[in-house]
Protein backbone atom coordinates (compact mmCIF):
# COMPACT_ATOMS: atom_id res chain seq x y z
CA UNK A 1 0.00 0.00 0.00
CA UNK A 2 2.81 2.40 0.89
CA UNK A 3 4.52 1.63 -2.43
CA UNK A 4 1.33 2.42 -4.34
CA UNK A 5 0.87 5.70 -2.46
CA UNK A 6 4.52 6.62 -3.02
CA UNK A 7 4.28 5.70 -6.70
CA UNK A 8 1.14 7.81 -7.08
CA UNK A 9 2.86 10.70 -5.31
CA UNK A 10 5.87 10.45 -7.63
CA UNK A 11 3.65 10.24 -10.70
CA UNK A 12 1.60 13.19 -9.45
CA UNK A 13 4.79 15.17 -8.92
CA UNK A 14 6.02 14.35 -12.42
CA UNK A 15 2.70 15.36 -13.95
CA UNK A 16 2.68 18.59 -11.93
CA UNK A 17 6.27 19.39 -12.96
CA UNK A 18 5.48 18.62 -16.58
CA UNK A 19 2.44 20.90 -16.52
CA UNK A 20 4.51 23.62 -14.88
CA UNK A 21 7.14 23.36 -17.62
CA UNK A 22 4.48 23.46 -20.32
CA UNK A 23 2.96 26.53 -18.69
CA UNK A 24 6.38 28.20 -18.57
CA UNK A 25 6.90 27.43 -22.27
CA UNK A 26 3.45 28.75 -23.11
CA UNK A 27 4.08 31.88 -21.05
CA UNK A 28 7.36 32.48 -22.86
CA UNK A 29 5.73 31.88 -26.23
CA UNK A 30 3.09 34.47 -25.37
CA UNK A 31 5.71 36.99 -24.23
CA UNK A 32 7.81 36.51 -27.36
CA UNK A 33 4.75 36.79 -29.59
CA UNK A 34 3.79 39.98 -27.78
CA UNK A 35 7.30 41.43 -28.14
CA UNK A 36 7.39 40.56 -31.83
CA UNK A 37 3.95 42.06 -32.45
CA UNK A 38 4.85 45.25 -30.59
CA UNK A 39 8.04 45.59 -32.62
CA UNK A 40 6.17 45.01 -35.88
CA UNK A 41 3.46 47.52 -34.91
CA UNK A 42 6.06 50.15 -34.02
CA UNK A 43 7.95 49.56 -37.26
CA UNK A 44 4.72 49.80 -39.26
CA UNK A 45 3.91 53.15 -37.64
CA UNK A 46 7.42 54.40 -38.46
CA UNK A 47 7.08 53.16 -42.03
CA UNK A 48 3.75 54.96 -42.49
CA UNK A 49 5.09 58.20 -41.02
CA UNK A 50 8.20 58.03 -43.20
CA UNK A 51 6.12 57.41 -46.32
CA UNK A 52 3.90 60.42 -45.58
CA UNK A 53 6.86 62.65 -44.78
CA UNK A 54 8.80 61.56 -47.87
CA UNK A 55 5.81 62.42 -50.04
CA UNK A 56 5.53 65.82 -48.37
CA UNK A 57 9.25 66.52 -48.80
CA UNK A 58 9.15 65.42 -52.43
CA UNK A 59 6.34 67.90 -52.99
CA UNK A 60 8.40 70.65 -51.34
CA UNK A 61 11.40 69.74 -53.47
CA UNK A 62 9.36 69.89 -56.66
CA UNK A 63 7.88 73.20 -55.58
CA UNK A 64 11.36 74.59 -54.87
CA UNK A 65 12.65 73.31 -58.20
CA UNK A 66 9.74 74.99 -59.95
CA UNK A 67 10.47 78.23 -58.12
CA UNK A 68 14.14 77.93 -59.06
CA UNK A 69 13.22 77.28 -62.66
CA UNK A 70 10.96 80.35 -62.77
CA UNK A 71 13.26 82.58 -60.72
CA UNK A 72 14.42 85.70 -62.50
CA UNK A 73 16.30 87.74 -59.96
CA UNK A 74 19.30 86.67 -57.92
CA UNK A 75 17.25 86.97 -54.73
CA UNK A 76 14.54 84.69 -56.11
CA UNK A 77 17.15 82.14 -57.19
CA UNK A 78 18.83 82.25 -53.78
CA UNK A 79 15.50 81.84 -51.97
CA UNK A 80 14.49 78.92 -54.20
CA UNK A 81 17.92 77.30 -53.81
CA UNK A 82 17.71 77.67 -50.02
CA UNK A 83 14.24 76.14 -50.02
CA UNK A 84 15.49 73.26 -52.18
CA UNK A 85 18.53 72.66 -49.98
CA UNK A 86 16.39 72.75 -46.83
CA UNK A 87 14.03 70.14 -48.26
CA UNK A 88 16.96 67.92 -49.28
CA UNK A 89 18.48 68.26 -45.82
CA UNK A 90 15.14 67.34 -44.24
CA UNK A 91 14.97 64.28 -46.47
CA UNK A 92 18.46 63.19 -45.38
CA UNK A 93 17.58 63.81 -41.73
CA UNK A 94 14.40 61.78 -42.11
CA UNK A 95 16.40 58.89 -43.53
CA UNK A 96 18.77 58.97 -40.57
CA UNK A 97 15.97 59.23 -38.02
CA UNK A 98 14.00 56.37 -39.56
CA UNK A 99 17.03 54.10 -39.61
CA UNK A 100 17.92 55.12 -36.05
CA UNK A 101 14.37 54.44 -34.86
CA UNK A 102 14.33 51.05 -36.56
CA UNK A 103 17.65 50.19 -34.90
CA UNK A 104 16.32 51.33 -31.53
CA UNK A 105 13.17 49.22 -31.88
CA UNK A 106 15.30 46.28 -32.95
CA UNK A 107 17.59 46.66 -29.91
CA UNK A 108 14.72 47.09 -27.45
CA UNK A 109 12.83 44.12 -28.82
CA UNK A 110 15.96 42.00 -28.82
CA UNK A 111 16.68 43.00 -25.22
CA UNK A 112 13.10 42.20 -24.22
CA UNK A 113 13.29 38.84 -25.99
CA UNK A 114 16.60 38.09 -24.27
CA UNK A 115 15.14 39.06 -20.89
CA UNK A 116 12.10 36.85 -21.43
CA UNK A 117 14.38 34.04 -22.52
CA UNK A 118 16.59 34.42 -19.45
CA UNK A 119 13.58 34.41 -17.13
CA UNK A 120 12.25 31.26 -18.74
CA UNK A 121 15.66 29.56 -18.50
CA UNK A 122 15.81 30.14 -14.76
CA UNK A 123 12.28 28.79 -14.36
CA UNK A 124 12.97 25.47 -16.01
CA UNK A 125 16.10 23.82 -17.35
CA UNK A 126 14.46 21.18 -19.54
CA UNK A 127 12.72 23.80 -21.67
CA UNK A 128 15.91 25.86 -22.19
CA UNK A 129 16.70 24.47 -25.63
CA UNK A 130 13.20 25.22 -26.91
CA UNK A 131 13.36 28.67 -25.32
CA UNK A 132 16.60 29.55 -27.08
CA UNK A 133 15.15 28.53 -30.42
CA UNK A 134 12.04 30.63 -29.83
CA UNK A 135 14.09 33.63 -28.70
CA UNK A 136 16.37 33.39 -31.74
CA UNK A 137 13.37 33.06 -34.02
CA UNK A 138 11.73 36.12 -32.46
CA UNK A 139 14.98 38.10 -32.74
CA UNK A 140 15.39 37.01 -36.36
CA UNK A 141 11.83 38.12 -37.14
CA UNK A 142 12.43 41.48 -35.51
CA UNK A 143 15.74 41.96 -37.31
CA UNK A 144 14.13 41.00 -40.63
CA UNK A 145 11.27 43.48 -40.14
CA UNK A 146 13.63 46.28 -39.12
CA UNK A 147 15.96 45.52 -42.03
CA UNK A 148 13.02 45.57 -44.44
CA UNK A 149 12.02 48.98 -43.10
CA UNK A 150 15.56 50.31 -43.37
CA UNK A 151 15.82 49.07 -46.95
CA UNK A 152 12.47 50.58 -47.92
CA UNK A 153 13.33 53.90 -46.31
CA UNK A 154 16.73 54.02 -48.01
CA UNK A 155 15.22 53.17 -51.40
CA UNK A 156 12.48 55.79 -51.02
CA UNK A 157 14.88 58.48 -49.91
CA UNK A 158 17.46 57.56 -52.54
CA UNK A 159 14.81 57.57 -55.27
CA UNK A 160 13.61 60.96 -54.10
CA UNK A 161 17.18 62.24 -54.05
CA UNK A 162 17.85 60.89 -57.54
CA UNK A 163 14.72 62.57 -58.85
CA UNK A 164 15.81 65.82 -57.27
CA UNK A 165 19.28 65.57 -58.76
CA UNK A 166 17.88 64.71 -62.19
CA UNK A 167 15.45 67.60 -62.02
CA UNK A 168 18.23 69.95 -60.92
CA UNK A 169 20.36 68.90 -63.86
CA UNK A 170 17.46 69.69 -66.14
CA UNK A 171 17.16 73.13 -64.57
CA UNK A 172 20.78 73.95 -65.23
- Identify which of 148, 168, 143, 160 has the alpha carbon closest to the alpha carbon of residue 93: 160
* Residue 77: exposure state from Cβ atoms within 10 A (0-12, 13-18, ≥19): middle
Within 8 A by CB and 6+ apart from 65, the residues are: 80, 84, 164, 167, 168, 171
pLDDT value for 96: 84
| pTM for the whole structure | 0.54
Within 8 A by CB and 6+ apart from 159, the residues are: none
CA separation for the pair 150, 43 (Å, rounded): 10
pLDDT value for 79: 92
Task: Classify domain 2-171 at the CATH topology level.
Answer: Methane Monooxygenase Hydroxylase; Chain G, domain 1 (1.20.58)
CA separation for the pair 98, 149 (Å, rounded): 8
For 73, list phi and psi in degrees, rounded to 5. Answer: -85, 165
CA separation for the pair 84, 3 (Å, rounded): 88
CA separation for the pair 82, 94 (Å, rounded): 18
Q: How confident is the model at residue 127 (pLDDT cuts 50, 70, 90)?
A: low
On the question of pLDDT at 19 being above 60, the answer is: no
DSSP state at residue 126? T
Give the domain ranges of the chain: 2-171
Amino acid sequence: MKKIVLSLAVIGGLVFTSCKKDAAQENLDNKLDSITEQAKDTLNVVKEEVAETVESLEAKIKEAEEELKNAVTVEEKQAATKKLNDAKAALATLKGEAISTAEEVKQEATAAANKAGAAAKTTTNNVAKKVEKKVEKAKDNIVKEATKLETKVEKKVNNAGERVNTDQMKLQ
